[in-house]
Every structure is written in C-alpha cells, then in structure tokens.
C-alpha cells in the first residue's frame, strides 16, 4: 500500500508544480490554488462554487463526526479530533469541486483528485509539512498495534511507517513503531 500512496503523492506534487511560485512551498501552491479556482469559477459565471461545495461537504462531514467519535480499538477519539478530521476532508472536497467548476479555464489536471483518492483508500491525508527541514506530505494510516488503535504517521518517501501517534495529537508526541527505531523526527 505504501508504494501506491507514494505514487499518488508524487502525482499530486506533479500537478501542483505548475502553480508553485519560485522560492515558494508546494503547500502554499495547494493553499492558493483553491482561491485561483474560486476566482476562475466566478469569472465563468459559477458564483459561490467554493461556498456551496464547502457548505455541502462540511454539513456531511460534521454530521458524520457527531455519529463517529468515542472509543475505537482501545483509543478515545474525541469529538474535537473527529471534527478536525472532518474539516480537513471537507476542505479537500470543496477544493476539488471549486477546481472542477473552473477546469476549462485553468487548463490543468485537478490536483485535489489525488488527495480524494487517499481518502477513498481509508487514509487520513494531512498536508505538506517541514520534516527534518524538507517539505514532505504526511498521511495518517489507521494502525492497530495489539488491542490499541492509533495512527501511523507516514511521511512521503519513507520506506515504511516509522512513527505512530494518538488521534488527538496530530503528528506530535511521535512514538517509534519498533523498539529498534532510534531515529527521531521533527515535524513542523
């Protein structure tokens, strides 16, 4: 599964490169692209595409949150953690829809389809972060270790998941997957 995730992230990066300004981050290209898509959609006469897509996606995600928090596999997933995950999913869905509504004007492949594919795989994509001073995309994998469910914090380009964290910690307080793992990691 890791090789498939890496392939998806590499495709995501390739589709963001045309939107990346010199000396800027890929994350900034991702963040600013939805605004460009929203403006392009408005110029095409498709007003409020972002607002509509966000409202619809957030409504569905937040309703799901209310129904899906609590104890899972020995870990408690708080309403706040579930809400944050739902907000991220809604954000990417809305970005995807905003881009699709202006696709003809933007003349490019929709980068956000790659993130949506990760959600379809049952993963929790986060975003590009500084990992040991390099910009890398981070994806959380649900992992069951013994009786406990946690998230495997996978950094694009690693050969495997090296660290885990609790749902509420959002890639902080990282714990090595194996006792032999002595490498530390700084995520910013």
Residue pointed to by tokens 């498939």? 4
- Specify the pLDDT at position 11: 96
- Specify the pLDDT at position 60: 75
Structure tokens at 91: 């954000």
- Specify the pLDDT at position 175: 73
The sign one gets for the Cα dihedral 149, 155, 160, 164 is negative
Q: DSSP assignment, residue 6?
A: H
- Specify the pLDDT at position 187: 62
Lowest mean pLDDT among 46-60, 133-147, 173-187: 173-187
Sheet containing 124-131, strands listed edge to edge, beginning at the edge strand earlier in sequence = 124-131, 134-145, 148-155, 163-165, 175-176
Average pLDDT of span 41-58: 75
Q: Is the pLDDT of residue 181 over 60?
A: no
CA gap 148, 74 in Å, rounded: 5
Give me the residue spans of the domains in the chain: 2-176
Confidence (pTM)? 0.81
Within 10 A of 174 (CB to CB), how many other CB atoms are there?
Answer: 16
Q: Which alpha helices (H) appear in 44-136, and where do they start and end?
A: 49-67, 79-101, 103-106, 112-120
| Most confident by average pLDDT, 1-10, 95-104, 134-143 | 1-10
What is the per-residue pLDDT across 68-110, written as a single tens digit (0 to 9) for each? 655 554 556 666 667 777 778 888 888 888 888 888 888 788 9
């Amino acid at each position: 599964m890791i090789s498939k995730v890496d392939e998806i992230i590499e495709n995501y990066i390739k589709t963001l490169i045309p939107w990346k300004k010199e000396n800027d981050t890929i994350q900034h290209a991702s963040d600013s692209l939805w605004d460009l898509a929203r403006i392009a959609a408005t110029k095409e006469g498709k007003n409020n595409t972002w607002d509509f897509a966000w409202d619809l996606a957030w409504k569905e995600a937040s309703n799901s949150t209310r129904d899906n928090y609590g104890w899972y596999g020995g870990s408690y997933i708080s309403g706040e953690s579930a809400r944050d995950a739902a907000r991220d999913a809604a954000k990417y869905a809305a970005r995807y829809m905003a881009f699709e509504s202006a696709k003809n004007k933007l003349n490019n492949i929709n980068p956000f389809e790659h993130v949506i594919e990760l959600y379809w795989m049952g993963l929790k994509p986060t975003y590009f972060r500084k990992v040991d001073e390099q910009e890398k995309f981070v994806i959380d994998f649900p992992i069951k270790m013994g009786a406990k469910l946690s998230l495997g914090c996978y950094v694009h380009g690693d050969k495997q998941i090296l660290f885990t964290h609790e749902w509420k910690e959002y890639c902080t307080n990282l714990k090595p997957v194996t006792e032999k793992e002595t490498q530390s990691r700084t995520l910013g």
